[in-house]
Amino acid sequence: MKKIMFITVSVIMILAGSPQAYNMGGVDIHGFVSQGYLCSDDNKYMANTEGGTTEFNEFGINFLSRITGKLTVGLQFFARDLGDYGNDDLKLDWAMISYGWKQWLGLRAGNLKIPMGFYNDTRDLDAARVSILLPQSIYNETSRDISAGLQGAGIYGNIPLGFMGNANYQLLFGRMDTEGENSGLYAFFRAQAQTGVTAIDMDDVFVSSLIWETSLDRLSFVDGFRLGWSYMQTSMEMDSSLTVNFAINEATGMLVVPDGMGGWTPFPAPPGVQPDYYFHVYYDTDIDVDMIYDVDNFDKNVYSVEYVYKNLTLAYEHQFTGIDISIFIDTGEEFEVFEYGGRPMLNFHYTNEAYYVSAAYRFCEWFEMGVYCSFSYYDKDDKDGEGLYELDTAETDRIMGADAWLYDDCVSLRFDLNENWTMKLEYHAMDGLFSVEPDDDGNTDKNWHMYAAKMSVSF
């Protein structure tokens, strides 16, 4: 695999001598390679960033051929490394066959890109944007595979709207590849469930996207305006295994268990069982627990607005991710009182909310600057984290309430060294701990900073 990766990178570097796609027998070939650096002054974010890491690279090469005027085939090989994710394993990122029957109706099938938001299907192309990291509230890199692509089929089309411009739509249906325990999908739900996830069985996925693009001849300043909506829905089952040790919250007198993130979660008594029974029988007892998270519904809505005027680009996107979960537990015969007679231990619904606003301006041919403010909330109805417990002990100073949010103020600088080579520098001022890992000592800091640099070549 590493030999294949080396050959692929070498081919890309050779072909990068031309800014245009390389054509071989009617096949257009594009490619890109990038190497980055991430460093945070506290905490770990996406990788072992405290103190700095170079485990941040990606490369890809794609092939596209128009067989006839209406039939197109293509595929892309892609690899990345981001801390524990990817590890430079080369994989088939997308592969599709597309038949454009009419302007308003076409058919695609294969391993397809998911059009969530304006930039998800182009997120691999570093040259297509000013920032190193897209706003992580919407385009989280650790959970890239949860919205990168699916194996299935779909329809698409462009509908002319006269003087109002045109509308582009896509409808997709298929299955996702969860890619194993080191995938971003596992990381996403480990953060959501705040415990270990050992297996995920995902059901069919439905995706829709609608984008309106303006074209008003008599109001030229309105040209460049886009309005979009995208939606994804699925369901899944997750398995988790852990050993819990019960304790008593001295402030409330409730029986609690570690939540896996340095805090505590209340353990409700099953129907017909008195809480005192837990306190006297199971206090300070290790119990091996298999937990099943039945995600009855996982749906994501992204609302997008973009405006481009000359060298200025403005964007705003807002996302809601609704999750319905039922939790079942299996503790074995010795502790079967905890199994709730086969009924769920807990049923709950919550909605992640995320949004950002961004601006970018190209000052000259070789320099562009961008800024964005990004906001992520674990639960839109508990943005200040009052529903999470606060913990301050000798073992950790993690403030559990701060797990409810993450604010990211970012400044990006892009330098185009030539038509193929791009260098970027980036600064992030962060507030909050949602999806953030403790440092090597197990501690976290609610207010922290991250720095990034990246060099990319593409053709």
**Residue where the block lists tokens 């905490």:** 43
For 450, phi and psi rounded to 5 degrees? -140, 145
The number of folded domains in the chain is: 1
Residue 342, burial from CB neighbour count under 10 angstroms (0-12, 13-18, 19+):
exposed
DSSP letters, 162-226, are GGG-EEEEEEEEEE-----TTSHHHHHHHHHHTS---EEEE--EEEEEEEEE---TT-GGGTTEE
Give φ, ψ of 342 to 5 degrees. 80, 0
Cβ atoms 347, 325 nearer than 8 A: yes
User: Nearest Cα to 232, choosing from 212, 202, 200, 193?
Assistant: 202
Other Cβ atoms less than 10 A from the Cβ of 243: the count is 9
Q: What is the DSSP letter of 143?
A: T
What pLDDT score does 207 carry? 96
- The C-alpha atoms of residue 456 and residue 35 are separated, in whole angstroms, by 7
Strands (E), 249-331: 255-258, 264-266, 286-309, 312-330
pLDDT tens for the chain, residues 1 to 459: 444 444 455 455 555 555 556 777 789 999 999 999 999 998 899 889 988 999 999 989 999 999 998 999 999 999 999 988 888 888 888 999 999 999 999 999 999 999 999 999 888 888 899 999 999 999 988 877 667 788 999 999 999 988 788 999 999 999 987 666 556 666 666 555 555 667 778 889 999 999 999 875 555 556 788 999 999 999 988 777 666 555 555 555 555 655 544 455 555 555 544 444 444 444 455 666 677 778 888 999 999 999 998 899 999 999 999 988 877 766 655 444 444 455 556 677 889 999 999 999 999 999 999 999 999 998 898 888 776 544 333 333 444 567 789 999 999 999 999 988 999 999 999 999 888 888 887 788 889 999 999 999 988
| The pair of three-digit structure tokens given for residue 291, joined into one six-digit string | 């937990």
- Report the alpha-carbon distance of residue 96 to residue 75 in Å, rounded: 6
Q: For residue 9, which phi and psi values (nearest 5 degrees)?
A: -60, -40
Please report, for the domain that includes residue 71, its CATH number.
2.40.160.10
For residue 435, the SS3 value is coil
Please count the other Cβ atoms lying within 10 Å of the Cβ belonging to residue 62: 19
Instruction: With H, G, I as helix, E, B as strand and everything else as coil, classify residue 13.
Output: helix
Range of the domain at 13: 2-458
Pull the structure tokens for residue 138.
């919407």
